[in-house]
Structure 1
Amino acid sequence: MPNFCVNKLAQPTGDHEVHDLTAGCSNLPAPSSRLALGNHASCHGAVRAATGHYRQVDGCYFCAPACHTR
């Protein structure tokens, strides 16, 4: 099951990006900028979990494309 994190630092758009740590993403935030979201069956569950921490959340274009909306 994929393991996800969300970037603690917002993008210029204000979005906090959700990343799949098991997908080999080359755009992962630095370890100190990651908030662990745990294991989820898909990025959709991870995005829901991240909205409990941040108002504006989006999936990474590269490792969570099904949840990338902006």
Structure 2
Amino acid sequence: MSDFYYVNKIAQPTGEHEVHASGCRYLPSVENRIFLGHFTSGKEAVKEAKKYYSTVDGCFFCCREAHTR
């Protein structure tokens, strides 16, 4: 299933910027996120987010297949 994805501009306390799908309840506010695009998986979105930040991880709740930390 494809979705729109965003990366949080604010890093987690552990240093990574989280990627979220559009329907995630933890989706950052509009001013704290960067639109990444429309992807078929969180892994693809994480790859795109690495163009903005070197340390990126998928959200545990909405991008579990891309969550590593």
TM-score normalised according to structure 2 size: 0.94
Matched, 1:19 2:20: yes
Q: Which whole-Å CA distance do the structure 1 matches of 2:54 and 2:37 have between them?
A: 19
Listed as ranges, the gaps of 5+ residues in structure 1 are none
Q: Which whole-Å CA distance do the structure 2 matches of 1:26 and 1:43 have between them?
A: 16
Listed as ranges, the gaps of 5+ residues in structure 2 are none
Matched, 1:42 2:45: no
Number of matched residues? Answer: 68
Q: What fraction of aligned residue pairs are identical, expressed as a percent?
A: 49
TM-score normalised according to structure 1 size: 0.93
| CA distances 1:24-46 after superposition (whole Å, capped 9, x unpaired) | 31111111001000001111110
Aligned-residue CA RMSD in angstroms? Answer: 0.7
Q: 4+ residue runs of structure 1 moved beyond 6 angstroms?
A: none
